[in-house]
Amino acid sequence: MCENPFEERYLVIAEKPSVAMTIAAVLGCKDRKDGYMESPDCVVSWCFGHLAEYAMPELYDDRYKNWSLEDLPIIPENWKLVVKDDKKKQFRILCDLLNNRGKAVSSTGRFTDRPFNYVVNACDAGREGELIFNRVYELSGSSLPVKRLWISSMEDDAIMEGFLSLKDSSDYRNLAEASVCRAQADWLVGINASRAFSKVYNYRLSVGRVQTPTLSMLVERCEQIDHFKKTQYFVTHLLVDDRGKMIDAVSENFADRKKAEQLASACNGNTATVSSLERKAKTAAPPKLYDLTSLQRDANRLLGLTAAKTLNCAQALYEKKLITYPRTDSKYLTDDMERTAADILAACRKVYPFLSPAELTAGYERDQGSAVPQGSAAPDIRRILDSKKVSDHHAIIPTIMITRADLSKCSEEEKKILTLIAARLVSATGRKFVYEAVKATFSCCGYTFVAYGRNIMEEGWKTAESAMRSHLHVEQEETVEADPDEGKKQAAGMVKIQSLSSLYQGKQFLNTKTKVTDHWTKPPAPFTEDSLLAMMERAGANEMEADVERKGLGTPATRAGIIEKLVSSKYVVRRNRQMIATDAGKQLVSAMPEYLKSPQMTADWENRLLQIERGQYDSRSFMDGITQLIRKMLQECGQIDEKESARFDKDKRNIRGMDSRENLGKCPVCGSPVYEGKRSFYCSNRECRFVLWKENKFLERMRTCLDDGMVKDILSTGRTYVRNLYSVKRDKFFSAYLCMEWKDGKSRFSLDFAE
């Protein structure tokens, strides 16, 4: 790139310093200056993420400092951007460069003092990157022509290729327009709705365009759980001895224990016959490659990582050139990537030998010479290719750099995320999982009992999946695409999937045994980040047209941030992996009008933003719609009656002064309220020394720490039930009661495995 036949000089602006350094190295830009890198041909500088953001209302007019209903709606005519204080210095450097001012010229070489001919927007290739660059460019008043670097990988070759085929910035005008609309809509709804509702209720409420409908889904689930009435039921089991192996068949459910017991005693010791045997051949296709949301879901489900943590890890891996661009919503590669995919697949097997057990490579080793191996076990690369399902970026896969890089420089979590991504490429190109679902019906004394079984014919892609799970010490999956029937009973803990391969119709068993078990109906499971991300992705799906790949609440890149916002505003707390709405969250949702919390409606707005991106919808119509929504909201706010607007009054004493903190329970030493601090939970009585540290060695060894929910339990009952505790010795996760005792001015923790 040092050869420049047109003797043009250009400026490159990246999203972050680390990315700028990588690009500068590829461009041979070696001269380090204050705030940029320089060579005779080019200068590479950087932003620190968002340098500029939309100004708060008080910067438009002083009177907005006080919140008042009369001043609403606040709808800026000319939107103001402000640069954050700690980023002002870098912003000034960028301004000088963008306007060909100051010392942005080389002191070496003959090109000194040549101005830039154009600027390259090298911010991340997505909506956010577009917004970050455009805001700085706009504020600087620059008139340099803009070109766009659009790459899906940080590898040197990809960067080089990207610079040789720079795009015209106008290609991304629709994307830029949609990103502006999204940011302005968020500002308008957030500012106006938060101020309006806070004033009407005289209580601080934080409302957001995507945040509030997401919270509403969480609240709805929590309420289903709270109001769930569990009922007890009983099941009779028929146990037959199939040459030393017990087969467990179950009756229907009985509401009455006596009936189950009568059945048990009627059948006990009698003869049972296999009256019917149903076998159904089933297959489970390999999973698709990861897009960001599915990666975040798996990382949460398998590793317990938050969506935000996974995004950070993926971004770090991308910047280390180890994976392709992570903020993608595609699960496919483009049709021209067949060769690349085969090479990377081979690299994954080399770096992660456990992904290549004998069965998987049976046909592969033989044909190692060719790019796409033939044979029965050959990876099926074509099934992960589909250019029609790739818009901005293809699915997340490792890069060829994984064979050369020193992976020990990655954090433990980054390594695990990389393993997930590599394993997914292997299983996505694997063979089908083939099995036979068996349903056996036994009759005994005129009653029927059912047992479910599964015979695995071919493990297929599941081999790689379970190899990955055992490598990462994750529990193996127990259920696989079961019959709805089979699945329901299994979830209720009633039946196990067992091997029934030796049964045949008419087979008889003498002297059967019976037993009765009792069960409770279960409420729906609380949301985890995994299931919440799935709901956000699916929200409004019914209302959408054929476009099934992109929809829902928020975008893949913003969902993690929305979840974090709900947690930091204390509308939601994390309890282990569960996401629980707080009382404040429930209150907020119950006060919101339907159109501010309806996931369907928000998904519909989101779909219009997508249409803007594709040039199919006018951005002015979109913004008109948003301002109409705000006017409607204000009008309705004016009609809220006194009784309704007093609904938060009883909570008000909690928001003044000291009492803004939640009282988690009574101190076991002196009985005063216990509050949450940054690193500990402490007694509010200054004389008292009671404190529980969030992190301690005992908990750390089991990969957990105390949260407010656990402390509430401990303060009221002395113990709390914890799932996903880790045992180093057994290398397994388990559940137990964590018990706390306060002795000699110290907390002592122990485990209790009793029910």
238/216 Cα distance (integer angstroms): 45
Give the residue with the Cβ less far from Zn ion, 48 or 742: 742
The pair of structure tokens assigned to 334 is 């483009």
Residues 6+ apart with CB under 8 A from 456: 433, 434, 435
Query: In the complex, what is the shortest distance from the CB of residue 672 to Zn ion, in angstroms, rounded to a whole number?
Result: 5
Q: Is the dihedral of CA 427, 428, 432, 433 positive or negative?
A: positive
Q: In the chain, what are the helix, strand and coil shares in percent, each to the nearest 5? A: 45, 20, 35
* Collapsed DSSP state (helix, strand, coil) of residue 517: strand
Residues 6+ apart with CB under 8 A from 130: 121, 123, 172, 175, 176, 179
- Compute CA distances 404 → 128, 399, 407, whole Å: 31, 10, 9
Note whether 663 binds Zn ion by CB under 5 A.
no
The packing angle between helices 17-27 and 307-319, to 10°, is 20
Query: In the complex, what is the shortest distance from the CB of residue 716 to Zn ion, in angstroms, rounded to a whole number?
Result: 15
User: How many chain residues touch Zn ion (CB under 5 A)?
Assistant: 8
Query: In the complex, what is the shortest distance from the CB of residue 435 to Zn ion, in angstroms, rounded to a whole number?
Result: 58
Note whether 685 binds Zn ion by CB under 5 A.
yes
Name the one range near Zn ion by CB under 5 A: 130-138, 436-444, 626-634, 666-674. 666-674
Name the one range near Zn ion by CB under 5 A: 33-41, 350-358, 460-468, 682-690. 682-690
Q: Indicate which residue of 10, 54, 203, 325 is catalytic.
A: 325
- Compute CA distances 687 → 661, 664, 677, 690, whole Å: 19, 19, 17, 9
Name the one range near Zn ion by CB under 5 A: 429-437, 618-626, 634-642, 670-678. 670-678
Note whether 667 binds Zn ion by CB under 5 A.
yes
Give the residue with the Cβ less far from Zn ion, 417 or 683: 683
- Catalytic residue at 64? no
Give the residue with the Cβ less far from Zn ion, 561 or 673: 673
Query: In the complex, what is the shortest distance from the CB of residue 747 to Zn ion, in angstroms, rounded to a whole number?
Result: 13
Q: What is the 3-state secondary structure (H, E, C) of 73-87?
A: CCCCCCCCEEECHHH
Give the residue with the Cβ less far from Zn ion, 415 or 661: 661
Residue 168 in contact with residue 150, Cβ under 8 Å?
A: no
Query: In the complex, what is the shortest distance from the CB of residue 657 to Zn ion, in angstroms, rounded to a whole number?
Result: 20
Note whether 688 binds Zn ion by CB under 5 A.
yes
100/94 Cα distance (integer angstroms): 10
Note whether 715 binds Zn ion by CB under 5 A.
no
Query: In the complex, what is the shortest distance from the CB of residue 730 to Zn ion, in angstroms, rounded to a whole number?
Result: 37
Note whether 683 binds Zn ion by CB under 5 A.
yes
Note whether 669 binds Zn ion by CB under 5 A.
yes
Name the one range near Zn ion by CB under 5 A: 288-296, 329-337, 399-407, 676-684. 676-684
Name the one range near Zn ion by CB under 5 A: 276-284, 312-320, 479-487, 672-680. 672-680
Residues 319-358 that bind Zn ion (CB under 5 A): none
325/327 Cα distance (integer angstroms): 6
What is the number of H-type helices and E-type strands within the chain? 24, 25
Q: Is the dihedral of CA 322, 323, 325, 326 positive or negative?
A: negative
- Compute CA distances 559 → 157, 274, 292, 483, whole Å: 31, 52, 10, 32
Give the residue with the Cβ less far from Zn ion, 541 or 688: 688
Note whether 434 binds Zn ion by CB under 5 A.
no
- Residue matched to tokens 């019917």: 276
Query: In the complex, what is the shortest distance from the CB of residue 684 to Zn ion, in angstroms, rounded to a whole number?
Result: 8
Note whether 691 binds Zn ion by CB under 5 A.
no
Give the residue with the Cβ less far from Zn ion, 617 or 675: 675
Note whether 677 binds Zn ion by CB under 5 A.
no
Note whether 150 binds Zn ion by CB under 5 A.
no
Name the residues that contact Zn ion, by CB under 5 A. 667, 669-670, 672, 683, 685, 688, 690
Catalytic residues: 325
